[in-house]
Chain A
Amino acid sequence: MSIATRTAFGEELLALGKEQTNVVALDADLRGSTKTGAFAKAFPERAFNVGISEQDLVATAAGLAVAGKKAFACSFATFLTGRAYDQIRTSVAVSEKAVVLVGTHAGILTGEDGATHQSLEDIGLMRALPNMVVLHPADAEETKACVRYAAACEHPVYLRLGRANVPIVYEAGTKFEIGKVKKITDGNDITIFATGPLVASAIAAAKLMEDDKIGVKVVDVTCISPLDIDGVLREIVDAKLVVTAEDHSINNGLGSAIAEVMAEHGAPAKLHRIGMRRFGESGSTGDLYHKYGFDAEGVEASLRKFWDERK
Chain B
Amino acid sequence: MNANLPHLAAQVRIDALKMIFAAQSGHPGSSFSTVEILATLFFGGFLKFDPKNPHWDGRDYFIMSKGHGCPALYAVLGELGYFSKDEFFNLRQVDSLLQGHPETFIPGVEIASGPLGQGMSVSNGIALGLKIDGKPNKVFSLHGDGELQEGNIWEAAMTAAKYKIDNYVAIVDHNTLQIDGTCEEIKSLGDIAAKFRAFDWETIEIDGHDFAQIEGALTQAIAVVGKPVCIVAHTVKGKGVSFMENQVSWHGVAPNETEFEAAMKELTDQFDRTK
Which residues from chain A sit less than 8 Å from chain B, CB to CB?
A: 24, 45-46, 48, 50-51, 53, 55-56, 58-69, 71, 86-87, 89-91, 94-97
Contacts and interface: CB of A to CB of B under 8 A. Distances in A.
Given A62-B111, A97-B111, A56 B155 contact: yes
Contacts of A66: 61, 110-111, 122, 125-126, 129
A63 B158 contact: no
Nearest to B103: A94
Contacts of A58: 121
Interface centre among A46, A58, A59 (most CB of B within 10 A): A59
A56 B159 contact: yes
Contacts of B57: 68
10 contacts: A46-B132, A53-B152, A55-B121, A56-B156, A60-B122, A60-B124, A62-B122, A63-B125, A90-B113, A94-B103
B17 to A, nearest CB: 27
- Chain B: interface residue count, which band? 20 to 34
Given A63-B122, A66-B125, 11 more contacts: A53-B152, A55-B117, A59-B152, A59-B156, A62-B125, A63-B127, A64-B129, A67-B133, A87-B121, A89-B115, A95-B104
Interface centre among B57, B122, B156, B159 (most CB of A within 10 A): B122
Contacts of A63: 111, 121-129
Contact of A95 (B111, B129, B151, B163): B111
A94 B112 contact: yes
Contacts of B103: 94-95
A65 B125 contact: yes
A55 B122 CA distance: 11
A69 B162 CA distance: 20
Contacts of B5: none
Nearest to B137: A67
Contacts of A86: 115, 118
A55 B61 CA distance: 21
Given A55-B121, A87-B152, A90-B118, A60 B159 contact: yes
B155 A55 contact: yes
Q: Which secondary structure characterizes the binding site on chain A?
A: helix
B123 A91 contact: no
A56 B125 CA distance: 10
Nearest to B159: A50
A24 B130 CA distance: 13
Contacts of A89: 115
B206 to A, nearest CB: 26
Contacts of A97: 104, 111
Contact of B156 (A60, A65, A96): A60
A63 B61 CA distance: 10
Interface centre among B105, B121, B130 (most CB of A within 10 A): B121
A91 B111 contact: yes
Given A60-B156, A62-B111, A67 B125 contact: yes
Contacts of B122: 59-60, 62-63, 66, 91
B126 A91 contact: no
A48 B131 CA distance: 13
Interface centre among A60, A65, A71, A90 (most CB of B within 10 A): A60
Interface in B41-71: 57, 61
A60 B111 CA distance: 12
A90 B115 contact: yes
Given A90-B114, A91-B112, A95-B112, A51 B130 contact: no
Contacts of A62: 111, 118, 121-122, 125
A64 B128 contact: yes
A68 B110 CA distance: 12
Contact of B152 (A55, A94, A96): A55
Nearest to B115: A90
